[in-house]
Amino acid sequence: MAERMQICNLSENNFEQCTKCSICTTVCPVAAVTTDYPGPKQAGPDGERYRMKDPAYFDKTLKLCLNCKRCEVACPSGVHIADIIQQARMRATEGHRASLRDTLLANTDLLGTVANLVAPVANATLGLSPTKLVMDSVMAIDKHRTFPAYSRQKFTTWFKRHAAQGQDAYAHHVSYFHGCYVNYNFPKLGQDLVKLMNAMGYCVHLLDKEQCCGVALIANGLYKQARRQGRTNIDSIRKSVTRDNRVVLTTSSSCTFNMRDEYPVMLDIDNADVKDSITLATRFIYRLVDEGKVKLIFKQDYKRRMAYHTACHMQRMGWQLYSILLMRMIPGLDLVELEQECCGISGTYGFKKENYERSQAIGSALFKSIEEARVEAVATDCETCKWQIEMSTGLPVENPISVLADALDVEATMKANGVVVSF
Footprint on this chain of another protein (rule: CB under 8 A):
1-2, 5, 7, 19, 21-23, 25-27, 31-32, 35-39, 41-42, 46, 72-78, 276, 287, 290, 315-319, 321, 325, 337, 339-340
Q: How far is the CB of 129 from another protein (least distance, A)?
A: 32
What's the rounded Cα separation, in Å, for the pair 3 and 395? Answer: 61
Taking the complex as a whole, how short is the minimal distance between the CB of residue 42 and another protein, in angstroms?
5
Q: How far is the CB of 164 from another protein (least distance, A)?
A: 30
Q: Supply the minimum distance, in Å, between the C-beta of residue 274 and another protein.
A: 14
Secondary-structure percent of the chain, ordered helix, strand, coil, rounded to 5: 55, 10, 35
* Integer CA distances (angstroms), 117 to 110, 145, 157, 213, 421, in order: 11, 22, 12, 22, 35
Rounded Cα–Cα distance for residues 31 and 136 (Å): 26
Least distance (Å) between residue 325 CB and another protein: 8
What region does 175 belong to: left with phi over 0, alpha with psi -120 to 50, or beta?
A: beta
Q: Which is nearer to another protein, 38 or 187 (CB)?
A: 38
**Residue among 286 and 356 whose Cβ is closer to another protein:** 286
Q: How many residues does the chain have?
A: 423
Whole-number Cα distances in Å, 386 to 253, 343, 355: 12, 9, 18
Coil, strand, or helix at residue 198?
helix
161 CB contacts (<8 Å, ≥6 apart)?
A: none
Distance CA 279, CA 268 (A): 20
